[in-house]
Amino acid sequence: MFKSALNILTAIFACFLIIAIFMPINSNAQNAELFSFLKQKSSDAKPASSAAESEQPIDINFKVINSKAAKTFQMPLLDGKTYDVKQSNEEGFVSRGEDDYTWRGKLKDGDEWTGDVTLTVKGKAMSG
């Protein structure tokens, strides 16, 4: 009886070990981009803000930042570079409702986490 129980436990442990070794790590969440650039309709389009140097329509992936578990993602900017962004430890995510929240973090430039990132979402609108 003891040997069969030990064999079963060994088999279960072996299954968990195999799953842990060969299961792919979900890197999509960490490497997900917050938004992607859409094609601009016309170069003659008037900027939405007179203070804007340049602008580009985007498609936002709200799932990347819609929870406290959203620790890292990538943010492409108009300079052509894509930056890594990580959530702040304190006040990194504040929810005021289902589609009403603020995500705070830091932008990585080179080897240092420097620039502040604050993204506020209400419904399908995001500012930051």
Does position 44 have pLDDT exceeding 80, yes or no? no
How is residue 82 written in tokens? Answer: 């894509």
Residue the block writes with tokens 């442990």: 13
Tokens matching residue 105: 């973090």
pLDDT tens readout for residues 88-125? 888 889 999 989 999 999 999 888 888 899 999 999 89
What is the pLDDT at residue 120?
94
pTM for this entry: 0.66
Convert the pLDDT of each residue in 73-92 to its tens digit.
999 888 888 999 999 888 88
| Contact between residue 55 and residue 37 where contact means Cβ atoms under 8 Å apart | no
Q: What is the rounded CA–CA span in Å between residue 70 and residue 46?
A: 35
